[in-house]
Amino acid sequence: MSSASQAGAHPFDRLVKALTSTISLKIVMMVTGLLGAGFVLGHMIGNLQVFLGRDAYNDYAEFMQGLGGLLWLARGGLLTILALHVVTAVALVKRNNMARPERYAKLEQRRTSLAGLYMAELGVVLLLFIIYHIAHFTVGQVGVEFGGVNYFELQQMTEAGSRRDLYSHFIVSFQQPSIAILYIVASIALAAHLAHGVTSAFKTAGIAIGRWKPPFEVLGPAFGVIIGLGNIAMPLAVWSGFIGLN
């Protein structure tokens, strides 16, 4: 396209081109990735209250449900972040595959980590798991019936009345080997995805360069390990009987 044609391009077309440029997509990928990592950390910390017992965990669940419209606004925001992250990831993978010669692609594979090499595949696994996790713990459509009891709807009696006993739902769910194994595998996939993704995000931001490159290259894997161990600890503690319904 000639310079005259570019100058005469519609402003909306120029805006779309700018927003869909590789640089813009990488920025979106970075921002959504870091926001997602922050949510994952907060979500893990909240769920770790299961180690404090039934009342503490149900207090946390009741507080979250009590947010009402703010909770649904947060959920909508998180789904938007997830959608943007997935869309930009797909777009960038396609562009990278089209732009890289085969020889260069093989060289990059030798330089990157195993997690970096399979980031797209890990992303697909995590997306499928997120769908299952929402159906399991958020809307209670799968994994809620055990021994004829719907543990997602089970009520806990308190001095102030009754409330949903999500602690029992949590415990009974992870007492099922298939569910516990699924969450452990997903936690390992999430840890690997974060280990590479967090460091990549800081590189995109221009922070992990020069003398700051070594510490930020450690930060991503360290964050992934923390998230992985924290999330895996919960199903293992239930499965081993360390925490239970009593």
- Note whether 30 and 204 are within 8 A (CB): yes
pLDDT of 239 above 60: yes
- Note whether 170 and 89 are within 8 A (CB): no
Banded model confidence at residue 68, pLDDT cuts 50, 70, 90: confident
- Backbone φ and ψ for 201, nearest 5 degrees, come out as -65, -45
Model confidence pTM above 0.75:
yes
| pLDDT, tens digit, 9 for 90 and up, residues 151-180 | 898 898 887 778 989 999 999 999 999 999
| pLDDT, tens digit, 9 for 90 and up, residues 188-213 | 999 999 998 898 888 887 787 777 78
Query: Which three-class secondary structure state does DSSP give residue 206?
Result: coil
DSSP output for 133-173: HIIIIIS--SS-EETTEETTT-EEEETTEEEE-HHHHHHHH
pLDDT of 109 above 60: no
Domains in the chain: boundaries: 10-239
Topology classification of domain 10-239: 3 helical TM bundles of succinate and fumarate reductases (1.20.1300)
Beta bridge partners of residue 163, listed in sequence order: 156
Cβ atoms within 10 Å of 61's Cβ, excluding its own: 22
